[in-house]
Amino acid sequence: MDSWRALADQQAGVLSWRQLAELGVSRGVIRHKLASERWRRRTESVLTTTTGPLSPEQERWVAVLHCGPDAMLGGLTALAVHGLTGWTRDEVTVIVANPDSFQHVDGIRPFRTRRPLERLRGPGALPCCRVEPAALLWAAHERNPRSAAGLLAAVVQQRLTNATSLLTWVDALRPLRRAADFRALLRDIEGGSESLGEVDVVRMCRAYGLALPARQRARTDRSGRRRYTDCEWDLPDGRTLVLEVDGAFHLEVGQYTEDVRRQRGLTRPDRIVVRATTDELRREPWVVAGDLVALGVPRAPDAAAG
């Protein structure tokens, strides 16, 4: 009767009826535990040895056990397990081979794939997709291409993987929607861009014939704090022009104050710091390019020759 305890400890107190049957726990024992309110049924095929609200870890275990023995966490859920921040969703995404093999449950989003599941699965007790296929499959099926690109930039920026590994998986997951777009994006990230805004700057420079910037240069501000700038150009007159790219979260009052302080601390007589928004770079890149040229950013060698 106690054969379930070790497994329950490993799975945050979540067990499936199938697992209990394999351990030899009778249905009578299970019904007694439920009737005495020591255990609680969470779905038709999953129960918990705790009766209170589910923790995030328990929610993930319930979802993956409900969807069958081969299922694994995928999409943003898997990436959150791997440490991704800033991309929270309430629903739990589970990669499955056959979404019709279990009952629908609110809050669980099955994602069907015909790819061999074992190739996608990462290490660990909690069945979870590897970072690279989790990110690429989510991005391939995300309706907003901008969000898709933003996620791939985020997993690299947050050091969950690198652009080279993602490029390898683009080929491994063939056929993959948006594969050509992903390759172009990841090559830009591989070249030094850490955010989608930096990628936008590089693409603007190519489109309007500007020299490509250095990205993520380490600088020390006047307070002695180490900073990494988004984009920099060494100008012909010996000065340096720094372009900081602001996403939507930079509009928050606290972040705006930090950005202003950062800009002031990095500015010196030989270093100019200016800013642009991701919205400008996306909607009016020619305006930003013109301002950069006016500030001294040189033309790309091939553009100057032409």
Kindly report, residue by residue over 43-62, the tens digit of the pLDDT.
999 999 999 999 999 999 99
CA angle 265, 202, 76 (to 5 degrees): 85
Percent of the chain residues past pLDDT 70, beyond the cut: 95
**How far apart are the C-alpha atoms of 299 and 245, rounded to whole Å?**
20
* Sheet arrangement for strand 271-277: 214-220, 226-234, 240-246, 271-277
Mean pLDDT of the chain: 91
**Max intra-chain CA distance, the chain:** 84
CB 121 within 8 A of CB 72: yes
The pLDDT of residue 256 is above 80: no
Residue 28 pLDDT grade (very low, low, confident, very high; cuts 50, 70, 90): very high
Span 186-215, mean pLDDT? Answer: 90
User: At residue 233, what are phi and psi to the nearest 5 degrees?
Assistant: -125, 135
The pLDDT of residue 213 is above 60: yes
What confidence score (pLDDT) does residue 250 get? 43
Quick: pLDDT tens for 270-303: 999 999 988 899 899 999 999 999 999 999 987 6
Span 249-276, mean pLDDT? Answer: 80
The pLDDT of residue 207 is above 80: yes
The pLDDT of residue 251 is above 80: no
User: At residue 79, what are phi and psi to the nearest 5 degrees?
Assistant: -65, -35
Span 90-107, mean pLDDT? Answer: 90
The pLDDT of residue 5 is above 60: yes
CB 265 within 8 A of CB 297: no
What confidence score (pLDDT) does residue 261 get? 86
Span 236-240, mean pLDDT? Answer: 95
Span 166-189, mean pLDDT? Answer: 94
User: At residue 118, what are phi and psi to the nearest 5 degrees?
Assistant: -65, -30
The pLDDT of residue 304 is above 80: no
Residue 246 pLDDT grade (very low, low, confident, very high; cuts 50, 70, 90): confident
CA-nearest of 181, 183, 180, 134 to 155 is: 134
142 or 1, which is more confident:
142
The pLDDT of residue 102 is above 70: yes
Span 17-46, mean pLDDT? Answer: 93
Number of neighbouring beta carbons within 10 Å of residue 263? 15
What confidence score (pLDDT) does residue 257 get? 81
**How far apart are the C-alpha atoms of 159 and 229, rounded to whole Å?**
17
Query: 3-state class of 226 per DSSP?
Result: strand
Quick: pLDDT tens for 128-137: 999 999 999 9
- 119 Cβ neighbours under 8 A, 6+ residues apart: 133, 172
**How far apart are the C-alpha atoms of 306 and 295, rounded to whole Å?**
21
* pTM: predicted TM-score of the whole model, two decimal places: 0.80
Please report which helix (H) or strand (E) contains residue 250, including its range: none
Q: How far is CA 143 from CA 116, 166, 195, in A?
A: 25, 20, 20
The pLDDT of residue 73 is above 70: yes
Quick: pLDDT tens for 120-157: 999 999 999 999 999 999 999 999 998 999 999 999 98
Span 212-216, mean pLDDT? Answer: 92
Alpha helices in the chain (DSSP H): 5-10, 17-22, 27-35, 56-66, 75-82, 117-120, 131-141, 145-157, 163-172, 179-190, 196-208, 253-266, 278-283, 285-294, 301-305
SS (H, E, C) 113-181: CCCCHHHHECCCCCCEECHHHHHHHHHHHCCCHHHHHHHHHHHHHCCCCCHHHHHHHHHHCCCCCCHHH
What confidence score (pLDDT) does residue 49 get? 95
